[in-house]
């Protein structure tokens, strides 16, 4: 009887844990996009503190409209302060959460508007920022077989580089934003860590489900023998001082087009929805 229970338990454990072939273990770094969020980001910070993890936050400039002179932004700046004090890295996720590559390729925005959306966050969050940027959806950082799209992507990446940022993508996509794949976040993450031999993991600190399971996921990653490290392990440039160009306020761009507002709308909706919880 004991043997049966043992075998059943072993099968159960092996189906939950997906140790890498050969018992290999890898370093990973946690990153969180789309924040800060007034109630969820503080919970993420608490878990990271208790688990002694230095993570990275890629924040949206639209959470800081009008900068520090706007008292309505106090909560958001307070969270940046906490993130910085705790030793986390802070990167830009651009201003509005738009697909810059698609905006150019579909002529929804001009080059000047796209460039403006990429660089305008810098001046707003310069007191907290590290010289790193992640494009929403990674759009613009990938290779395209379409020469027109590739030309636009080259322009986007050139804009990021000239502004003084290092673009930071990800190796492991948790898809934690996808409500239909919630049960798959952990198994998929563990599988990808083996496939990519570790690397940068993408999470979102505006997702209530992520915050609810983060500690459990961290424990599961560590139970496999993997080590959670700071982003400098993969991106040494994150330690560099902030170039002056990043802090410059760009010339005001034209009002953002209707289409791009629609695209960034889902983030607002997510925040609004979570705020109601
Ligand atoms: Zn994002």
Q: How many domains does the chain have?
A: 1
pLDDT number for residue 17:
52
Rounded to the nearest angstrom, the distance between the alpha carbon of 69 and the centre of ligand 1 is 26
Rounded to the nearest angstrom, the distance between the alpha carbon of 263 and the centre of ligand 1 is 11
Residue 17 within any structural domain of the chain: no
Candidates 261, 258, 235; CA nearest to 56 is: 235
Rounded to the nearest angstrom, the distance between the alpha carbon of 254 and the centre of ligand 1 is 23
Per-run averaged pLDDT (10 residues), the chain, 277 residues: 47 57 97 98 98 98 95 97 98 98 96 96 97 98 97 98 97 97 96 98 98 98 98 98 87 51 43 37
Residue 2 within any structural domain of the chain: no
What's the domain range around 111? 22-276
pLDDT number for residue 249:
75
Residue 5 within any structural domain of the chain: no
Residue 7 within any structural domain of the chain: no
Task: Using a CB cutoff of 5 Å, list residues around ligand 1, an ion.
Answer: 33-34, 136
Question: Is pTM, for the whole model, over 0.75?
Answer: yes
User: Does 36 sit behind a cis peptide bond, omega within 30 degrees of 0 on the bond before it?
Assistant: yes
Which CATH number do you get for residue 260?
Answer: 3.20.20.370
The set of residues, in sequence order, having a beta carbon less than 8 Å from that of 246 and lying 6+ positions away, is: 119, 122, 126, 129, 131, 163, 164, 165
pLDDT number for residue 19:
87
């Amino acid at each position: 009887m004991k043997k049966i229970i043992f075998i059943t338990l072993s099968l159960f454990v092996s189906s939950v844990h997906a140790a890498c072939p050969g018992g290999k273990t890898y370093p990973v770094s946690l990153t969180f996009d789309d924040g800060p969020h007034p109630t969820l980001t503080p919970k993420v910070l608490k878990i990271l503190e208790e688990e002694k993890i230095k993570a990275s936050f890629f924040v949206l400039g639209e959470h800081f409209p009008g900068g520090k002179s706007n008292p309505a932004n106090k909560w958001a700046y307070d969270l940046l302060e906490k993130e910085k004090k705790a030793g986390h890295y802070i990167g830009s996720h651009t201003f509005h959460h738009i697909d810059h590559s698609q905006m150019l390729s579909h002529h929804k925005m001009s080059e000047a508007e796209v460039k403006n959306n990429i660089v305008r966050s810098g001046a707003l969050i310069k007191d907290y920022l590290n010289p790193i940027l992640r494009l929403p959806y990674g759009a613009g950082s990938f290779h395209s077989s379409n020469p027109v799209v590739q030309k636009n992507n080259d322009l986007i990446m050139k804009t990021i580089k000239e502004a003084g940022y290092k673009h930071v993508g990800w190796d492991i996509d948790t898809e934690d934003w996808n409500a239909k794949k919630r049960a798959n976040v952990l198994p998929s993450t563990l599988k990808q860590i083996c496939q990519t031999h570790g690397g940068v993991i993408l999470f979102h600190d505006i997702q209530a489900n992520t915050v609810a399971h983060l500690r459990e996921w961290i424990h599961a990653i560590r139970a496999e023998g993997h080590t959670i490290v700071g982003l400098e392990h993969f991106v040494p440039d994150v330690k560099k001082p902030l170039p002056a160009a990043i802090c410059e306020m760009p010339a005001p761009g034209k009002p953002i087009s209707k289409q791009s507002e629609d695209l960034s709308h889902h983030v607002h909706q997510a925040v609004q929805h979570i705020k109601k919880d």
